[in-house]
């Protein structure tokens, strides 16, 4: 059983700077259950940020200011030519947030021979660990492409969970190697929401969120509905995105405003890193919210 060391409501108040930094630092293992009678948030917020662009530094500061957890899925290099975080920046983020792997070169694994795909996984994780000086257990598939035999490759290389880009989910799914998300923080058009819904599977689990997104059409309005529970209150809100796009589209102010609104719901909102949220509580209470039974 693993749980993040941050307070259950995601707050980071109290203590001196050093203890605060420790609280928000690397994911630690302990035996405390994720969900207990006194830890019953109405919503768990998970945020994931992909590709390790230098704008992640700005994002990390924004998350930290709001007391929101985040997992940064980072390739060591990016063959698409986008800049990536340097060693000092990676260590800075790793001191405050969970860092996950995103292959060595940011390549889509389904187009590679199995041995090459596994080498990308292994080398991406090992190089990242040598830079940040701590274990890296999480992984995110570049482009959302899950290669054949992914689970075995990841397990052989010490990866304990993997995130996809499946959208419109308000739960964690039932496979730790195919963790879904709720929404990408990007102003997609309605047609893109419709296309993504049709392309995916799990139509039943995704319908409620898809319907909200499609009928509303505005990313901030959709997210605010979930944050304020006016869309029925998701149990798990997993948002993800790319800091490079947030910068290019100048979405920082809107994201700041959304985080303010979201965290004003404390303590009904609990923010967790991917790793902590990916582990099913062993002593889940009988009256746990229904969707927690879908976590693992
Ligand atoms: Zn990526």
Query: What's the gap in Å between 240 CA and the centre of ligand 1?
Result: 11
Could you report the per-residue pLDDT of 212-247, keeping only the tens digit for each?
999 998 999 999 887 776 555 457 889 999 999 999
Specify the DSSP class assigned to residue 36. B
- Work out the average pLDDT over 167-182: 91
Contact predicate 278/172, CB 8 Å = yes
Identify the band that residue 2 occupies on the pLDDT scale cut at 50, 70 and 90. Answer: very low
Query: What's the gap in Å between 175 CA and the centre of ligand 1?
Result: 20
Query: What's the gap in Å between 72 CA and the centre of ligand 1?
Result: 11
- Work out the average pLDDT over 168-179: 90
User: In the prediction, which pLDDT does 9 show?
Assistant: 37
Query: What's the gap in Å between 133 CA and the centre of ligand 1?
Result: 22
The radius of gyration of the chain from alpha carbons, rounded to an integer in Å, stands at 18
Model confidence at 128: pLDDT above 70: yes
User: In the prediction, which pLDDT does 25 show?
Assistant: 32
User: In the prediction, which pLDDT does 1 show?
Assistant: 32
Query: What's the gap in Å between 50 CA and the centre of ligand 1?
Result: 5
Query: What's the gap in Å between 102 CA and the centre of ligand 1?
Result: 7
Identify the band that residue 284 occupies on the pLDDT scale cut at 50, 70 and 90. Answer: very low
Query: What's the gap in Å between 220 CA and the centre of ligand 1?
Result: 22
Question: All domains of the chain, ordered by start, with CATH?
Answer: 40-294 (3.20.20.370)
Name which of 55, 103, 61 is nearest 83 in CA terms: 55
Name which of 220, 266, 239, 204 is nearest 45 in CA terms: 239
**HSE toward the beta carbon, residue 84, CA cutoff 13 A:** 22
Query: What's the gap in Å between 70 CA and the centre of ligand 1?
Result: 15
- Work out the average pLDDT over 76-102: 96
> In sequence order, what are the beta bridge partners of 2?
29
- Look up residue 290 and give its two tokens: 């229904």
User: In the prediction, which pLDDT does 224 show?
Assistant: 86
> In sequence order, what are the beta bridge partners of 241?
49
Query: What's the gap in Å between 73 CA and the centre of ligand 1?
Result: 8
Q: What gap in Å lies between CA 33 and CA 247, rounded to an integer?
A: 37
- What does the chain come to in residues? 296
- Work out the average pLDDT over 77-97: 96
Helix (H, G, I), strand (E, B) or coil at 122: helix
Query: What's the gap in Å between 295 CA and the centre of ligand 1?
Result: 24
> What are phi and psi for residue 289, nearest 5 degrees?
-55, 145
User: In the prediction, which pLDDT does 236 show?
Assistant: 86
Long-range contacts of 151-160 (CB under 8 A, 24+ apart): 151/177, 153/114, 153/117, 153/118, 153/121, 154/121, 156/118, 157/118, 157/121, 157/122, 157/125, 158/125, 159/101, 159/121, 159/125, 160/275, 160/278
Query: What's the gap in Å between 92 CA and the centre of ligand 1?
Result: 20
Q: What gap in Å lies between CA 113 and CA 99, rounded to an integer?
A: 26
Q: What are the DSSP E strand ranges found in the chain?
A: 43-50, 71-74, 98-101, 138-140, 161-163, 183-184, 236-241, 269-272
> What pTM was computed for the model?
0.81
User: In the prediction, which pLDDT does 120 show?
Assistant: 98
User: In the prediction, which pLDDT does 272 show?
Assistant: 72
Name which of 29, 36, 34, 35 is nearest 2 in CA terms: 29
Query: What's the gap in Å between 246 CA and the centre of ligand 1?
Result: 14
User: In the prediction, which pLDDT does 263 show?
Assistant: 83
- Work out the average pLDDT over 82-91: 97
User: In the prediction, which pLDDT does 41 show?
Assistant: 65
Model confidence at 203: pLDDT above 60: yes
Q: Give the range among 2-16, 28-42, 78-92, 268-282 with minimum mean pLDDT.
A: 2-16
> What end-to-end distance do the CA atoms of the chain give, in Å?
11
- Work out the average pLDDT over 197-217: 91
Q: What gap in Å lies between CA 59 and CA 69, rounded to an integer?
A: 11
């Amino acid at each position: 059983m693993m749980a993040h060391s941050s307070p259950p409501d995601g707050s980071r108040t109290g203590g001196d700077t050093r203890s605060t930094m420790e609280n928000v630092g690397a994911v630690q293992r302990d035996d405390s259950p994720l969900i207990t009678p006194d830890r019953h948030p109405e919503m768990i917020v998970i945020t994931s940020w992909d590709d390790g662009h230098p704008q992640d530094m700005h994002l990390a500061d924004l998350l930290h200011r709001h007391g929101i957890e985040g997992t940064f899925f980072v390739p060591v290099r990016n063959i698409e030519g986008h800049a990536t975080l340097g060693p000092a920046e990676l260590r800075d983020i790793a001191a405050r947030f969970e860092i996950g792997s995103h292959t060595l070169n940011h390549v889509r694994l389904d187009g590679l021979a199995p041995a090459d795909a596994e080498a990308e996984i292994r080398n991406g994780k090992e190089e990242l660990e040598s830079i940040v000086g701590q274990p890296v257990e999480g992984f995110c598939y570049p482009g959302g492409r899950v290669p054949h035999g992914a689970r075995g490759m990841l397990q052989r290389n010490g990866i304990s969970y993997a995130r996809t880009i499946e959208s419109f989910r308000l739960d964690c799914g039932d496979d730790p190697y195919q963790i879904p998300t709720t929404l990408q923080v990007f102003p997609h058009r309605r047609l893109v929401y419709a296309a993504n819904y049709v392309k995916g599977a799990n139509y039943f689990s995704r319908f409620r969120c898809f319907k909200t997104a499609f009928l509303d059409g505005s990313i901030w309005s959709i997210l605010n509905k979930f944050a304020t529970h006016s869309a029925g209150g998701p149990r798990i809100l997993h948002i993800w995105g790319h800091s490079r796009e947030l910068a290019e589209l100048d979405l920082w102010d809107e994201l700041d405003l959304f985080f303010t609104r979201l965290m004003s719901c404390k303590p009904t909102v609990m923010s967790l890193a991917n790793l902590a949220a990916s582990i099913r509580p062993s002593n889940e209470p009988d009256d746990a919210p229904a969707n927690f039974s879908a976590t693992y």
